Structure 1
Amino acid sequence: MGSTSDLPIMEKAAQFLNEMEIPFEMNALSAHRTPEEVEKFAKGAKDKGIKVIIAAAGMAAHLPGVIASMTTLPVIGVPINSSLDGMDALLAIVQMPPGIPVATVGINGALNAAILALQMIATGDESVQKKLADYKVSLKNKITKANQELASVSYKFKTN
Structure 2
Amino acid sequence: MAKPFVAILMGSDSDFPKVEAAIGVLKKLSIPYEVRVHSAHRTPDATHQYVTGADQRGCAAFIACAGMAAHLAGVVASLTIKPVIGVPIDAGPLDGLDALMSTVQMPGGIPVATVAIGKAGAKNAGYLAAQIIAVSDADLAERLKADRAENAKEVLAKNEALQKQLNG
TM bin, normalised by shorter chain, reads over 0.9
1:66 aligned partner: 75
Q: In structure 1, list runs of 5 or more residues that go unmatched.
A: none
1:111 aligned onto 2:120? no
Letter in 2 for 1:106: A
Q: How does the TM-score come out when normalised to structure 1?
A: 0.95
CA distance in 2, matches of 1:61, 1:154: 46
Identical pairs, percent:
47
1:129 aligned partner: 141
1:31 aligned partner: 40
- Greater than 2 Å deviation, 4+ residue runs: none
RMSD: 1.1
How far off its partner does 1:154 sit? Answer: 2.7
CA distance in 2, matches of 1:115, 1:19: 10
- Flag the structure with higher strand content: 2
Deviations 1:93-133 (A, max 9, x none): 00001111000000011000000000000000001001100
2:40 alignment partner, SS class:
coil
1:154 aligned onto 2:163? no
CA distance in 2, matches of 1:26, 1:45: 11
Deviations 1:17-73 (A, max 9, x none): 111111100000000110001101121222111100000000000000001001111
1:49 aligned onto 2:64? no
CA distance in 2, matches of 1:71, 1:15: 25
Q: How does the TM-score come out when normalised to structure 2?
A: 0.90
The count of residues paired between Structure 1 and Structure 2 equals 156
Letter in 2 for 1:146: K
CA distance in 2, matches of 1:155, 1:19: 36
Q: In structure 2, list runs of 5 or more residues that go unmatched.
A: 1-9
Structure whose CA Rg is larger: 1
